[in-house]
Amino acid sequence: MRRWHLVAVGTAVALVLGLLVAAVVRDSAPGALPVVGKQAPALALPRLDGQGQVSSADWRGKPVVLNFWSSWCGPCRDEFSVLGRHAGRDDVVVVGVVFQDSPDTARRFVDDVGARWPIGVDERSAAAIAYGVRGLPQTFLLDRDGVVAAVYTGPLSESALAADLGRLTT
């Protein structure tokens, strides 16, 4: 009887652990973040250039490419060229959010690469927490109504971004 009890408890523990592992793996899959399909959190951050605020209230009506980055992050640096190609478009808004970086260092990097899109500073990580940022770089694509349409974790691919923006701008 005691042996049966140990087998039952062991099986129950294994089942619970298996369910926990399955939940973690499912939630870690690309595009499986809980914010996809939901209204994006409101955002109001001081601008890196000191010229007021970066505010989500100003973005309504156009798709938004919202990119969380740091100057010390190699892949973040690499994807600035992709962001720059879309920053000049009339039908899309590109916005950067400096995360876990000093404003002075970030400002020097932005000046060096010639980034010309609005960039906010997330000094207390409140925006990153609200958006569920899991690593850098991380980019959120918002539709015209401010609903999260896609999430890119890791380096931003020109082809993926262009395809998703094409879907949202037509």
* In the predicted structure, residue 26 carries a pLDDT above the cut 70: no
Q: What is the pLDDT of residue 28?
A: 38
What whole-number distance in Å separates Cα of residue 82 and Cα of residue 157? 8
- Sign of the C-alpha dihedral, residues 105, 108, 112, 114? positive
The fraction of the chain above a pLDDT of 70, given in percent, is: 80
Q: Which of 5-14, 24-33, 142-151 has the highest mean pLDDT?
A: 142-151
* In the predicted structure, residue 27 carries a pLDDT above the cut 70: no
What whole-number distance in Å separates Cα of residue 66 and Cα of residue 35? 13
The single-letter DSSP state of residue 47 is B
Mean pLDDT (whole number) for 149-162: 94
Q: What is the pLDDT of residue 1?
A: 56
More confident residue, 96 or 33: 96
Please give the CATH superfamily to which domain 35-169 belongs.
Glutaredoxin (3.40.30.10)
Indicate the SS3 state at residue 122: strand
Where in the chain are the domains? Answer: 1-30, 35-169
pTM equals 0.80
The pLDDT mean for the chain works out to 85
* In the predicted structure, residue 29 carries a pLDDT above the cut 60: no
Give pLDDT tens digits for 92-128: 999 999 999 999 999 999 999 999 999 999 999 999 9
Residue 105: how many other CB atoms lie within 10 Å: 13
